[in-house]
Amino acid sequence: MTTTTIETTAVRPPRTGFALSQKQVWGLLFVAPYIAIFMAFVVFPVGYAFWLARDPQLYVELVHDPIFLRTAINTLVFLIVAINVKMVIALFVSGFFTNKRWWVKILSVLFVLPWAVPSIPTILSMRFMLNPEWGVINQLIFTLTTEDGPNWLNDPTLALALSMVVHIWKSLPFWTLILLAGRLAIPHELYEAASVDGAGSWHRFAYITWPSISTLYVTCTLLSMIFTVGDFNSVYLLTGGGPADLTHVLSTLGIRYLRLDQVGLAMASIVCCLPFVLPLVFFMMKRLSK
Amino acid sequence: MSQPLTLRRLTRNVGTEAGLLLIGIPILLWTLIPIYHMFLFAISPKDAAFSGQLWPAHPTLRNFGIVFNQEHHFLYHFWLQMWNSIAIAVATAVLTLMVATMAAFAISRLRMKGGRLVMNLALFTYFIPAAFLAVPMYKTMGMYGLLNNDLALILAMVTIASPYAIWILRQASDKLPVELDEAALIDGASPWQLFRMVYIPLMVPSLIAVGTYALLLAWNEYLYAFLLLSKETTLTLPVALGNFLSADDSPWELLMTAGFIYALPPAAIYYAFRRYMSSGLTAGAVKG
């Protein structure tokens, strides 16, 4: 195909547009594999999903499902609490890692482990730590207080809170590294000047660090929010949505409906979420595709 | 400095040091406890694992032996599933690199018409939460007849990994000087030669970062693997480990041992390529 293009254009008298159009043909060829993947595995599935979710009756059914309402609230709580707690800790810890001491450097290398290793073994490890009878946490509580610890994952509030802890454990390193990169990009002279003026650490943070990285901080928070809507592992591997389907978030609920062979409901639950997620996505795209 | 170390300065130094330790020690414990707990199970004999000691009285490598020799019915396909994980991760990395590098080259260097649109579509895909696409992807793979085929997971992971890969690579290639392309084209190089002989060699550090990213993404993936693969022999190891949960009498020490083994390669790969990862990947997110 390419050779024919070259031959037919070669007959024409050379002009400036020739190189350009050949470049365009090559451009299309180079981008074709991605377009093919995008069509087959994004456009088609999404289109199909909307087609499956077209029946208005599905939404009536969804709203009448108490698990769906509970899930919507859980997801909202998860997003607001877990992400803000995580980002504040990341902001604080990234400041700690700007220290140049040798042991802080070693610690910063170890600190990335939760992010680098697969979720499944570590989350299952935490799940076992929380086991009411054999788990190390309740054993510790028993040795210290001679009383039985709580049945952690059997209480919906505790279980959801612990899923948030798992989520924070897993993704804190990533956001800390990004905020650390942001902090390290601040010119050092600013801090030196502030020291000369006798500014304490709080003033240095409030007048130099925060103004320099606040945009980055907000970007990270929003980005983390979008990603966390899709966080399946933290909840599914720790609580499985239980007890009594009270700790589902949107990402695990869709899979639950799928397992119950209610694909329409699964799609409808995702479509319901789009009015909240899409504005965030467009906002982020505007911010990042300058 | 020449200033003598007064008592006040000394106490202040000790104070700072103690303050740093007061932050550092909780960070260390928080990071390592779940991982150490897993390791402790892996080296403990079956009954001693639950005793809650900090170090087992009789550490043993027997669990590793059982896992490696596939001596438990949960682990009959351990090596096959490990192989599936490796094959899927490597295939995902290679395919993502090919697809994303070519797309980034077309958008950034060939300045193709509509490149901006392609970039925006890719970025949009990157921002769709992965779990949202999972159910439609599952149904679609069923229609394509790919369920229970490792290819389904590879294609799904390439779909998820390439948008970010294209974005990172495009940013890196925008930084290469335009004169380079012009010189090569004047010398009569075709865009393909430009791609292969000029572009690829210059992009090696970013390619390593993106390849590692895709490799780890596929290796660590649970949700898509668990949806798309269900036959014992096509499973990746994470799904097989997840299946331990379905039984009441799960051998936790073996689960933790296999999990520990599974966690080693990505940690090693991450540390080996950390230099490329941190500069290549955070650069993308820091912008803005």
Mean pLDDT of A138-153: 84
- Burial category of A243 from C-beta neighbours within 10 Å (exposed 0-12, middle 13-18, buried 19 and up): middle
Hey, is the C-beta of A182 within 8 angstroms of any chain B C-beta? yes
Tens of pLDDT, residue by residue over A233-272, are 889 989 888 788 888 988 889 888 988 888 889 999 888 8
Between residues 103 and 142 of chain A, which touch chain B (CB distance below 8 Å)?
A: 103-104, 107, 109-114, 116-122, 124-126, 128-129, 134, 136, 139-140
A277 interaction partners in chain B (CB closer than 8 Å):
129, 132
Model pLDDT, residue A43: 93
pLDDT at A5 over 60: no
Model pLDDT, residue B159: 95
- A247 residue type, one letter: T
C-alpha–C-alpha distance, residues A102 and A246, integer Å: 46
C-alpha–C-alpha distance, residues B95 and B79, integer Å: 24
Instruction: Check CB contact under 8 Å for B27 and A96.
Output: yes
Tens of pLDDT, residue by residue over B66-101, are 888 888 777 888 999 999 999 999 999 999 999 999
C-alpha–C-alpha distance, residues A183 and A200, integer Å: 17
Instruction: Check CB contact under 8 Å for A41 and B140.
Output: yes
Tokens of A56: 């208005």
Instruction: Check CB contact under 8 Å for A281 and B31.
Output: no
Hey, is the C-beta of A27 within 8 angstroms of any chain B C-beta? yes
For an interface test with A, which of B16, B20, B22, B27 has the most A Cβ atoms less than 10 Å from its Cβ? B27
C-alpha–C-alpha distance, residues A256 and A267, integer Å: 11
C-alpha–C-alpha distance, residues B272 and B274, integer Å: 6
Average pLDDT, chain B: 85
Hey, is the C-beta of B56 within 8 angstroms of any chain A C-beta? no
Could you tell me which of A68, A80, A58 has the C-alpha nearest to residue A229? A80
Confidence band, pLDDT 50/70/90 cuts, at residue B165 = very high
Which architecture characterizes domain B77-286 according to CATH?
Orthogonal Bundle (1.10)
A23 interaction partners in chain B (CB closer than 8 Å):
110-112, 191
Residue A266 contacts by C-beta under 8 Å, 6 or more apart in sequence?
A: A253, A254, A255, A257, A258, B135
Tokens of A170: 């897993």
Tens of pLDDT, residue by residue over A175-207, are 998 899 889 888 888 888 888 888 788 888 888
Instruction: Check CB contact under 8 Å for B282 and A177.
Output: yes
C-alpha–C-alpha distance, residues B98 and A82, integer Å: 37
- A173 residue type, one letter: P
CA of A44 to nearest chain B CA: how many angstroms apart? Answer: 8
- Burial category of A148 from C-beta neighbours within 10 Å (exposed 0-12, middle 13-18, buried 19 and up): exposed
C-alpha–C-alpha distance, residues B75 and B254, integer Å: 9
A27 interaction partners in chain B (CB closer than 8 Å):
106-107, 110-113, 115, 191
Tens of pLDDT, residue by residue over A93-102, are 999 999 888 9
A220 interaction partners in chain B (CB closer than 8 Å):
285
pLDDT at A58 over 50: yes
C-alpha–C-alpha distance, residues A154 and A71, integer Å: 17
C-alpha–C-alpha distance, residues A199 and A191, integer Å: 9
pLDDT at A10 over 60: no
**What are the residue boundaries of the structural domains of chain A, listed by start?**
1-52, 65-288
Q: What percent of chain A is predicted at pLDDT more than 90?
A: 32
Instruction: Report the 10 Å Cβ neighbour count for B257.
Output: 27
Q: Is the ipTM of this complex over 0.85?
A: yes
A276 interaction partners in chain B (CB closer than 8 Å):
none
C-alpha–C-alpha distance, residues A25 and A15, integer Å: 17
- Burial category of B175 from C-beta neighbours within 10 Å (exposed 0-12, middle 13-18, buried 19 and up): exposed
Confidence band, pLDDT 50/70/90 cuts, at residue A229 = confident
Tokens of A93: 């810890």
Between B272 and A90, the higher pLDDT residue: A90
Crossing angle of the two packed helices B78-104 and B252-272, in degrees rounded to 10: 30
Model pLDDT, residue A163: 94
Which among A48, A120, A181 has CB closest to B286? A181
End-to-end CA distance of chain B: 41
Model pLDDT, residue A192: 85
Mean pLDDT of B126-147: 89
For A105, nearest residue in chain B (alpha carbons): B24
Q: What percent of chain B is predicted at pLDDT more than 90?
A: 35
C-alpha–C-alpha distance, residues A225 and B46, integer Å: 41
Could you tell me which of B235, B52, B221, B72 has the C-alpha nearest to residue B150? B235
Which among A24, A178, A290 has CB closest to B112? A24
Instruction: Check CB contact under 8 Å for B132 and A270.
Output: yes
For an interface test with B, which of A3, A6, A31 has the most B Cβ atoms less than 10 Å from its Cβ? A31
C-alpha–C-alpha distance, residues B243 and B247, integer Å: 8
Tens of pLDDT, residue by residue over A86-137, are 999 999 999 999 988 899 989 988 999 998 899 899 999 998 888 888 788 8
Mean pLDDT of B236-263: 85
Hey, is the C-beta of A255 within 8 angstroms of any chain B C-beta? yes
Could you tell me which of B283, B48, B42 has the C-alpha nearest to residue B173? B283
**What are the residue boundaries of the structural domains of chain B, listed by start?**
7-68, 77-286
Confidence band, pLDDT 50/70/90 cuts, at residue A149 = confident
Confidence band, pLDDT 50/70/90 cuts, at residue B27 = very high
CA of B127 to nearest chain A CA: how many angstroms apart? Answer: 6
Which among A22, A121, A139 has CB closest to B263? A121
Which architecture characterizes domain A65-288 according to CATH?
Orthogonal Bundle (1.10)
Confidence band, pLDDT 50/70/90 cuts, at residue A13 = very low
Residue B240 contacts by C-beta under 8 Å, 6 or more apart in sequence?
A: B74, B75, B77, B78, B81, B232, B258
Instruction: Check CB contact under 8 Å for A125 and B38.
Output: yes
Q: Are A119 and A237 in contact (CB under 8 A)?
A: yes
CA of A288 to nearest chain B CA: how many angstroms apart? Answer: 6
CA of A61 to nearest chain B CA: how many angstroms apart? Answer: 19
Residue A98 contacts by C-beta under 8 Å, 6 or more apart in sequence?
A: A180, A183, A184
DSSP string, chain A: -HHHHHHHHHHSPP-HHHHHHHHHHHHHHHHHHHHHHHIIIIIHHHHHHHHHT--HHHHHHHHT-HHHHHHHHHHHHIIIIIHHHHHHHHHHHHHHTT---HHHHHHHHHHTHHHHS-HHHHHHHHHHHT-TTT-HHHHHHHHHHSSPPP-GGGSHHHHHHHHHHHHHHHHHHHHHHHHHHHHHTS-HHHHHHHHHTT--HHHHIIIIIHHHHHHHHHHHHHHHHHHHHT--HHHHTTTTT-STT-S--HHHHHHHHHHTT-HHHHHHHHHHHHHHHHHHHHHHHHHH--
Tokens of B73: 């019915």
C-alpha–C-alpha distance, residues A12 and A22, integer Å: 13
Q: Are A157 and B278 in contact (CB under 8 A)?
A: no
End-to-end CA distance of chain A: 36
Instruction: Check CB contact under 8 Å for B223 and A255.
Output: yes
Tokens of B106: 């077309």
DSSP B176: S
Model pLDDT, residue A289: 67
Q: Are B250 and B138 in contact (CB under 8 A)?
A: no
Confidence band, pLDDT 50/70/90 cuts, at residue B286 = very low
For A214, nearest residue in chain B (alpha carbons): B288
Mean pLDDT of B26-42: 91
Mean pLDDT of B161-186: 87
For B53, nearest residue in chain A (alpha carbons): A136
Average pLDDT, chain A: 86
For B242, nearest residue in chain A (alpha carbons): A120
Q: Are A45 and A61 in contact (CB under 8 A)?
A: no
